[in-house]
């Protein structure tokens, strides 16, 4: 089996410091948190920028600052920026983060309900994101919240805007979108074209069981405060690194080795 790629989603756009006091917000906090997760075994950092008061921002300057601060620490983790932003960000704000030149960026492959909101990803915006990433040599990670989103991504392949093999991330358990039972994961994995890679990001209580299954199924895993703030029911996690460390221990116990960032680049076809 391929080595395991662990992605850490350190901040997200929805969680607050009130909910999780150890949530990293500023570029300094995000860089330090990413550095600790990298030391613990993460090879991709999925990043959302925030303003100092915690408001989500898609400002390319803030993203560039986060990237610079991570690299200043000598950390070679794959930096993945979110083009998803927050549900209320406009498409032109969301796409800006690509100008800060991440190695990877997310591409949400369709619209869905998202709690009490709607997460909008029109066909024309998906095409624009794919085109911009292609021009800039940024590896897309296809975010799938609903099964039809796989088809949407494959339509972009047919149009020549995305290339196979793609890397997918199944975000399961968002209220309003697909749930996160094991059969949901297996169903989605079976839909992927040969040669594609995938990870799973289970929301809340779905995070751990889905991660454990992904480890033994040969997929990859995303954990972090964006998706889940608890270590176990009723007990907040002390840090993002704590969640990464647990995945490393479980993988070790079942004989799945952990990919370094350079090994992850090879698995994902990223040229540095
Ligand atoms: N915050 C969600 C509305 C992504 O990062 O690309 C979208 C999201 C997906 O988090
Ligand atoms: Zn995100």
73-109 residue pLDDT tens:
999 999 999 999 999 999 999 999 999 999 999 999 9
Q: Per residue in 123-146, pLDDT tens?
A: 999 999 999 999 999 999 999 999
Give the residue, out of 7, 11, 13, with the most ligand 1 atoms within 8 A of its beta carbon, to mutate for a pocket test: 13
Closest CA to 119 of 107, 105, 101, 134: 107
Give distance in angstroms: CA of 113 to centre of ligand 2.
Answer: 15
Taking the centre of ligand 1 as the mean of its atom positions, its distance from the CA of residue 32, in whole angstroms, is: 22
CA of 22 from ligand 2 middle (Å) equals 18
Residue of the nearest CA to atom 4 in ligand 1? 84
Best residue for ligand 1 mutational test, from 11, 63, 84 (most atoms within 8 Å of Cβ):
84
| pLDDT at site 271 | 84
pLDDT of residue 272: 74
Q: What is the dihedral of CA 245, 246, 247, 249, to 10 degrees?
A: 90
Query: Which ligand lies nearest the alpha carbon of 142?
Result: 1
Q: How many whole angstroms from 198 Cα to the centroid of ligand 1?
A: 17
> Which residue has the least CA distance to atom 1 on ligand 1?
86
pLDDT beneath 70, residues of the chain: none
- Between the CA of 68 and the centroid of ligand 1 the distance, in Å, is 22
d(CA 170, CA 178) in angstroms, rounded, equals: 9
Cα-to-centroid distance, 114 and ligand 1 (Å): 10
pLDDT of residue 109: 98
Q: Which ligand is nearest to the CA of 174?
A: 1
pLDDT value for 200: 99
What ipTM does this complex have? 0.99
Please list every protein residue whose CB sits less than 6 Å from any atom of ligand 1: 13, 82-84, 86-87, 106, 108, 114, 119, 143
pLDDT of residue 127: 98
pLDDT at 230: 98
Instruction: List, in order of start, the domains of the chain with CATH numbers.
Output: 6-267 (3.20.20.70)
Atom of ligand 1 nearest to the CA of 87: 3
């Amino acid at each position: 089996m391929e080595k395991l790629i662990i992605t850490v989603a350190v901040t997200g756009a929805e969680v607050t410091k009130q909910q999780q006091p150890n949530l990293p917000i500023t570029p300094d906090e995000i860089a330090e948190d990413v550095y600790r997760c990298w030391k613990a075994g993460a090879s991709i950092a999925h990043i959302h920028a925030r303003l100092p008061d915690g408001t989500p921002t898609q400002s390319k300057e803030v993203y560039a600052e986060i990237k610079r601060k991570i690299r200043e620490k000598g950390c070679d983790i794959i930096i993945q920026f979110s083009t998803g932003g927050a549900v209320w960000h406009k498409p032109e704000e969301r796409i800006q983060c690509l100008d800060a030149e991440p190695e990877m960026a997310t591409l949400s492959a369709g619209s869905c309900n998202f709690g009490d909101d709607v997460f909008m990803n029109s066909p024309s915006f998906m095409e624009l994101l794919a085109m911009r990433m292609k021009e800039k040599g940024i590896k897309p990670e296809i975010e799938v919240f609903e099964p039809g989103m796989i088809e949407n991504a494959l339509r972009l392949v047919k149009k020549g805007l995305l290339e196979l093999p793609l890397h997918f991330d199944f975000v399961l358990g968002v209220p309003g979108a697909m749930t996160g039972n094991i059969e949901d994961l297996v169903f989605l994995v079976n839909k992927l074209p040969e040669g594609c890679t995938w990870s799973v990001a289970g929301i809340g209580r779905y995070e751990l069981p889905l991660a454990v299954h992904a480890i033994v199924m040969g997929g990859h895993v995303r954990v972090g405060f964006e998706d889940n703030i608890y270590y176990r029911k009723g007990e907040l996690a002390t840090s993002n690194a704590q969640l990464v460390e647990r995945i490393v221990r479980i993988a070790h116990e079942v004989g799945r080795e952990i990919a370094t960032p350079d090994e992850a680049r090879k698995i994902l076809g990223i040229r540095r």
